[in-house]
Structure formats: structure tokens, C-alpha cells
Amino acid sequence: MATTEDKTKIKTAIKRRKKEIYTPVVPEKQLGFVHNNVDCIGCRACEIACKDKNGLSAGPRFRRVQYIEGGHYPDVFAYKVNVSCNHCAEPACLPTCPTGALFKRKDNGIVDIDSTLCIGCRRCEAACPYGAPQFDPAENIVKKCNLCIDEIEAGRKPYCVMACMMRVLDIGTIEQMDSGQFETKAVGPNDEMVRQVKNFADPELTNPSIRFVPSSKGKVDS
């Protein structure tokens, strides 16, 4: 339940937001995820670690492991696509927020949220093509992955990454990933990282900060 102080803070934020012209933030560096769709076993340890760290109830899930299966015997296939907030370079959620609760950090490109300013309008939820903002009906506000910013600032990695027993999930700067200078156990010496796989929204929409090692059946024709 919002206090009188909270309501005053929100009203002030809305007035300020109405006067602002949205200007995209260009960060000093852009942190992002890499996920190996081939070697992921779908154990959901990352999901559990995320929910536990953020104290989430049964409904909201910041991280989601999608099981993709198909084909006809004997040509069958199965792989996993693991996503959360993609901390997009051009996030669709930010311009929709009437209070400015959502913001992009200048130093590392993380898309974060100030829950004390959230009014539960769910506009960000509707705008995001990846389902990242998660509505919590118990608190009537939206919550989302912030890349475990407290862990990042302490020099550690997010809970989901640390929980991955197969080491197929990692974080780093998108600049290093795209230049081939990123060293990680999630990517093998002969693996190729791509921006899009099947069952993932078009990256041209928001320029998401995530790269995949795709399954042969999950590759998107360029």
C-alpha cells in the first residue's frame, strides 16, 4: 500500500515526466547475456536462483527457459532458449512509462526500475516484445530483471549465471562479444554467436543485448 509520501513522489515524477522529451541513453558500455542453446539442459536452476534472489511469488518470472521441440521421426530436434530482460539498446518499455520508473544506466546499459515510482499501469509490459516486465498482482506493480545490479557493483555475476551448472549462460559487454574478444565457457572455440534464433522476437525492434549459440534447427536465415 502506497503511503502519502509515496503518492506525492509519484505525482511529482509524473509532472516531471510530462515536461521531458524522451532521449535514448547511450551507455559507456553495454552489458548483456550470452546463452548456448545447444548445451543447455533445461534444468531451470537459473530460473529458481532468480526467483529466490528477488523474492518473487509464484506468478512473476524474470528468467524463462523455453523448450523448443519439433520434427518428425527420425528427424527430430529439441533445444532451449533462455531469456530474461535483454537490457535493449533501444528499449521499447522506457518511453511508455508515465512516471520514469524505468531507466537505463549510463555506465553499463542496464535497464533498471525504481519500484517506488511504479503505478502498475502495465504499459511497459505491453510494449516489450520479449515479455521482460512482469506484473506482480500481490503488490500491483511491475518488476523486472536488473541484471542483479547489486552483484555487478560488488564485482560478481548475476545469480542466474552463477547457478548455471552447465556454464551455458554468461554476461559480458556486447562490444566484446561482437568483436570476438569475449572469453567465456558458454561459447566453444568453434561456436558462432548470433543476435536472433527462432521463437525470439526480431532484434531490429529494440536491439536487445543478448547473443545466442544457436541450435542448427534454431538458426534464422539471414
CATH code of the domain covering residue 128: 3.30.70.20
Could you tell me if residue 219 is inside a domain? no
Confidence of residue 6 (pLDDT cuts 50, 70, 90): confident
Confidence of residue 15 (pLDDT cuts 50, 70, 90): confident
213 with 193: CB under 8 angstroms? yes
Strands 210-213 and 75-83: unpaired
Question: Is pLDDT at 1 greater than 80 in this prediction?
Answer: no
Structural domain range at position 170: 4-213
Confidence of residue 165 (pLDDT cuts 50, 70, 90): very high
What is the residue whose three cell numbers read 541513453?
25
CA 200 from centroid of its chain's CA atoms: 13
Domain count within the chain: 1
Could you tell me if residue 75 is inside a domain? yes
Residue 57 cell numbers, joined: 511469488
The per-residue pLDDT of the chain, averaged, comes to 93
Could you tell me if residue 220 is inside a domain? no
Could you tell me if residue 218 is inside a domain? no
Q: Which residues pair with 72 in a beta bridge?
A: 75
